[in-house]
Homo-oligomer: A and B are copies of this chain.
Amino acid sequence: MSTTGNGEVGEPLPTGDLFLRLDRSGRIPLYYQIAEIIEAAIADGTLPTGIRLENEVSLGERLGISRPTIRRAIQELVNKGLLVRRRGIGTQVVQRPVTRKFELSGLYDDLLRGSRNPTTDLLVREVVPADAETAKILSVPEGVDVLHLRRLRYADGVPLAVLENSLPIEFASIADDDLRTRGLYGVLQGRGTQISVAYQQVGARGATAEEGRLLGIPEGAAVLTMERTAYNNDGRAVEFGRHCYRPDLYSFEMTLVNS
């Protein structure tokens, strides 16, 4: 039986029982399985906040897994901000309130995860020549046709955000119903387009008259804004969005980790 001290005593740890479900023959990488098990143990309190983890070498030996694989699993959780490593000391669970992580996903899935029922009105859907800015961002010649969308997103029936997007013309065949019943990223994924990188900028400004009308707030009231350019896994821009949110109903959460 292995032990993991908390700095003062060397108590036996429940971690000994956590790793019985490793599947070495399946498609899921070992490091991923290990990371998920540890993450779940943190989430349900089996690994309390502030506790020191078993060291990498002994954990690897105990599970019959090489140290680089163990390290990779732990690194995933360090990157998520759940663990902290210190040379010469050990690895600890970060002491913190529960916070959801910030991922590359659309608003729709974000609302789904938060159990806020998302729905969508399709306000505008047109094919128009790209203006200079859109053309530059999407890396197409100016004046070439692009798909332009304007949607109103609700959460639990309450208007939450005005979503304005431009996409290359190859996406013009997207069905209206898909846009109404799914998130844009879900639709793109269904067409085999995987988003792998996105750059976004979050700011604020006063609402325009139309935004105020759509969102049910006065003109000039504060809205939270986000501009995002998303790139395919071959590095090409597939979507440019300019969105605004009701700030009392939505905010951006994120975790930052020091290299």
- A positions within 8 Å CB-CB of B: 49-50, 68, 79, 81, 84, 86, 89, 92-97, 99, 102-104, 136-137, 139, 194-206, 220-225, 229, 231, 233-237, 245, 247-248, 250-258
Residues of B within 8 A of A96 (CB): 197, 199, 229, 231, 235, 237
Give the CA-CA distance A252 to B200 in the complex, in Å: 8
Selected from B86, B95, B194, the residue in CB contact (under 8 A) with A231 is B95
Asked whether B198 lies within 8 Å of A237 as measured between CB atoms, the reply is no
Asked whether A247 lies within 8 Å of B198 as measured between CB atoms, the reply is no
Asked whether A235 lies within 8 Å of B201 as measured between CB atoms, the reply is no
Q: Most chain-B Cβ atoms within 10 A of its Cβ — which of A204, A234, A250, A253? A: A204
Selected from B136, B237, B256, the residue in CB contact (under 8 A) with A200 is B256
Give the CA-CA distance A49 to B221 in the complex, in Å: 40
The smallest beta-carbon distance between A195 and chain B, in angstroms, is 6
Give the CA-CA distance A210 to B195 in the complex, in Å: 43
The smallest beta-carbon distance between A194 and chain B, in angstroms, is 7
Selected from B224, B234, B247, B258, the residue in CB contact (under 8 A) with A194 is B258
Identical chains bound together, number: 2
Asked whether A222 lies within 8 Å of B235 as measured between CB atoms, the reply is no
Selected from B204, B234, B258, the residue in CB contact (under 8 A) with A86 is B234
Asked whether B95 lies within 8 Å of A199 as measured between CB atoms, the reply is no
Asked whether B199 lies within 8 Å of A99 as measured between CB atoms, the reply is yes
Asked whether A203 lies within 8 Å of B221 as measured between CB atoms, the reply is no
Give the CA-CA distance A215 to B79 in the complex, in Å: 35
Q: Most chain-B Cβ atoms within 10 A of its Cβ — which of A93, A250, A258? A: A258
Asked whether B201 lies within 8 Å of A251 as measured between CB atoms, the reply is yes
Give the CA-CA distance A234 to B89 in the complex, in Å: 9
Asked whether B234 lies within 8 Å of A197 as measured between CB atoms, the reply is no
Find the B residue at minimum CB distance from A253.
B201
| Given A96-B231, A221-B206: A256 in contact with B84 (beta carbons within 8 A) | no
Asked whether A84 lies within 8 Å of B231 as measured between CB atoms, the reply is yes
